[in-house]
């Protein structure tokens, strides 16, 4: 028998309200009660939702369910970072990372099984691309992390990483979030809903390799912090590192970024810049970057390159990274160096690989000799 019950996990509030009205003849407050149970209390079984009438719970169970992802494995770093591999189907897995800091807890979530952007310095790219995650699979990562962190807190202060709490969510795990726009945007609405995870728009960050049309669309539809993987100050170099640049070059990308900030009354775009030894880390690169970003609502985040098996790149030496930052700061651009976290468990930026059955026939990058645009889905 096929199970056609709808998975409520990740349904934005308005959709959940119309679902309970149309399928169960229930008032909107029932949807609000459900959201509190699922997100605040982390309860997935209707039977345990004790302030809902018994008959309502029974009717609900006939048409709906709350399906959460399963954990395949968990790793913990010496620095408190935790990485979960979540089961997507028989063979595939995606990764989610929790990064505790004294003043915040950041959850880094994935948006796709693999990635089709083919950036030459990223481990996820090497896996290829299989599919987009559903809204439930995106929100499910936060649901699970909450449950795991709560379980830890309940185990008492001697438990490792006790008291962990998610204060920030970043879409910086596996995948290109703007290539899965139609599922990513509803998921972000749940993160910001006060009956969902109740995060302010500054605490939800979407990071993109530069899908320009979707940046314009996002500017109209969803107010979150924007991060952009820049990695090079000129098109020649960026074409090589981030192949989507051949379709949407730097000038076009930056125009979209400034539009985003204007439209949303935002503070600034965070530009990510991976520090690759001898490739993009010279003083002239820093000066060229400063010329691009000076006087703009921009911040630069320098990411020391994280190695992974098979990569041809190396991390810039610490002194090079510091000098690069200083040149930017001296030229009027705010630049900070991202502290590497969780690299002992391959949980650092660009190290998430999961388990992906590649379904791409053409890749963006030179390694596969193609510049065809990826199959990008716009919601």
Point out the residues that are catalytic: 95, 349
Which of 93, 10, 114, 116 lies closest to 377, judged by CA?
116
What are the φ and ψ backbone dihedral angles of 51, each rounded to 5 degrees?
A: -90, 5
Q: Minimum distance from CB of 294 to ligand SAH (Å)?
A: 21
Among 16, 66, 68, 172, binds ligand SAH (CB under 6 A): 172
Q: Minimum distance from CB of 340 to ligand SAH (Å)?
A: 8
Q: Minimum distance from CB of 253 to ligand SAH (Å)?
A: 12
Among 88, 192, 303, 353, binds ligand SAH (CB under 6 A): 303
Assigned token pair, 81: 């970072």
Look-up: residue for tokens 């960050």? 205
Stretches 39-47, 120-128, 181-189, 216-224: which one binds ligand SAH (CB under 6 A)? 120-128
Among 305, 325, 341, 355, binds ligand SAH (CB under 6 A): 305
Q: Which is nearer to ligand SAH, 44 or 122 (CB)?
A: 122
The CA distance from 231 to 46, in Å, is: 47
The CA distance from 246 to 365, in Å, is: 10
Name the residue whose CB lies closest to ligand SAH.
Answer: 350
Q: Minimum distance from CB of 222 to ligand SAH (Å)?
A: 16
Yes or no: say if 207 and 177 are a contact pair by the CB < 8 Å rule.
yes
Site residues for ligand SAH, 332-351, by CB under 6 A, read 349-350
What are the φ and ψ backbone dihedral angles of 285, each rounded to 5 degrees?
A: -65, -40
Q: Does 20 bind ligand SAH (CB under 6 A)?
A: no
Q: How far is CA 24 from CA 64, 71, 276, in A?
A: 10, 32, 56
Binding mask 269-288 for ligand SAH (x = CB under 6 A): ---x-x--------------
Q: Minimum distance from CB of 14 to ligand SAH (Å)?
A: 27
Q: Does 260 bind ligand SAH (CB under 6 A)?
A: no
Residues touching ligand SAH, count (CB under 6 A): 18
b vs e for 262-277, b when ≥16 Cβ sit within 10 Å of the residue's Cβ? eebebeebbbbbbbbe
Site residues for ligand SAH, 197-216, by CB under 6 A, read 207-209
**Alpha-carbon torsion (47, 49, 53, 59), positive or negative:** negative
Give every strand in the sheet of 204-208, ordered side by side: 70-76, 82-87, 93-101, 104-108, 168-171, 204-208, 225-229, 269-275, 298-304, 334-337
Binding mask 214-253 for ligand SAH (x = CB under 6 A): ---------------x------------------------
Q: Which is nearer to ligand SAH, 38 or 211 (CB)?
A: 211
320-323 long-range Cβ contacts below 8 angstroms, 24+ apart: 320/275, 320/277, 320/281, 321/275, 321/281, 323/283, 323/286
Q: Minimum distance from CB of 172 to ligand SAH (Å)?
A: 4
Q: Does 122 bind ligand SAH (CB under 6 A)?
A: yes
Residues 6+ apart with CB under 8 A from 3: 65
Residues of the shown chain interacting with ligand SAH in the complex, contacts defined by CB under 6 A: 117, 119, 121-123, 172, 176, 207-209, 229, 272, 274, 303, 305-306, 349-350
């Amino acid at each position: 028998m096929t199970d056609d019950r709808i998975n409520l996990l990740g349904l934005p509030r308005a959709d959940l309200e119309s679902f309970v009205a149309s399928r169960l003849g229930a008032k909107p407050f029932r949807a609000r009660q459900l959201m509190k149970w699922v997100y605040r209390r982390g309860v997935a079984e209707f039977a345990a939702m004790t302030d809902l009438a018994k008959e309502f719970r029974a009717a609900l169970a006939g048409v709906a369910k709350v399906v959460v992802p399963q954990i395949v494995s968990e790793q913990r770093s010496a620095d408190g970072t935790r990485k979960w591999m979540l089961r997507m189907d028989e063979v595939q897995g995606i990764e989610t990372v929790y990064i505790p800091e004294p003043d915040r807890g950041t959850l880094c979530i994935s948006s796709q099984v693999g990635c089709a952007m083919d950036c030459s310095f990223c481990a996820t790219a090497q896996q290829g691309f299989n599919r987009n995650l559903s809204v439930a699979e995106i929100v499910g990562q936060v649901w699970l992390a909450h449950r795991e962190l709560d379980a830890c807190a309940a185990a008492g202060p001697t438990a490792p990483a006790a008291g962990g709490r998610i204060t920030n969510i970043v879409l910086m795990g596996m995948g290109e979030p703007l290539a899965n726009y139609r599922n990513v945007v509803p998921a972000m609405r749940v993160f910001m809903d006060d009956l969902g995870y109740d995060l302010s728009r500054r605490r939800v960050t979407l990071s993109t390799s530069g899908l320009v049309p979707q940046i314009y669309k996002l500017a109209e539809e969803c107010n979150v912090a924007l991060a952009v993987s820049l990695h090079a100050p000129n098109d020649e170099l960026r074409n090589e590192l981030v192949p989507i640049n051949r379709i949407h070059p730097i000038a076009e990308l930056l125009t979209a970024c400034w539009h985003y900030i204007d439209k949303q009354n935002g503070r600034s775009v965070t530009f990510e810049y991976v520090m690759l030894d001898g490739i993009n880390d010279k003083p002239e690169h820093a000066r060229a970057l400063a010329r691009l970003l000076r006087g703009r609502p921009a911040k630069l985040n320098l990411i020391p390159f994280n190695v992974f098996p098979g990569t041809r790149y190396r991390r810039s030496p610490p002194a090079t990274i510091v000098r690069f930052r200083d040149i930017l700061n001296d030229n009027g651009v705010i630049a900070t160096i991202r502290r590497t976290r969780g690299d002992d468990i391959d949980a650092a930026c660009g190290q998430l690989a999961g388990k992906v059955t590649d379904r791409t026939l053409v890749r963006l990058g030179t390694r596969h000799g193609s510049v065809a645009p990826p199959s990008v889905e716009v919601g």
